[in-house]
Amino acid sequence: MVTATDNGIRITDVWQTREIADAFYQEQLGPISAEIGVPAPSETTFYDVHNYLTQGPSA
């Protein structure tokens, strides 16, 4: 999801692990950002997301 903010954009994405997200940044996003002139890595905040599923009463 991409949302406009007062000073740019906020991108929200869900990754299976932080390591996969870090690798994507290093291999894909970082070089593309540098190529188009983004001067420094963007601010990144990671949050753990948990989804607990339980069997319903009709199961």
Q: Is residue 55 part of a domain?
A: no
In this predicted structure, what is the pLDDT of residue 49?
A: 78
pLDDT attached to residue 52? 67
Contact status, residue 23 vs residue 15, Cβ threshold 8 Å: no
Q: How far apart are CA 15 and CA 3, in angstroms?
A: 18
Report the pLDDT value the prediction gives residue 59, as an integer from 0 to 100: 57
What tens digit of pLDDT does each residue of 20-38 get? 988 988 898 888 888 998 8
Residue numbers of the domain that contains 25:
1-50
Report how far apart, in Å, the C-alpha atoms of 33 and of each of 8, 38, 41 are: 14, 5, 8
Encoding tokens for residue 17?
Answer: 């692990």
Our count of domains for the chain comes to 1
Output the pTM of the full model.
0.57
Q: Residue 58 domain-assigned?
A: no
d(CA 56, CA 46): 31
Q: For 39-52, how does the pLDDT look when each residue is reduced to its tens digit (9 = 90+)?
A: 776 778 888 877 76
Residue 41 within any structural domain of the chain: yes
Residue 51: what residue type? Answer: N
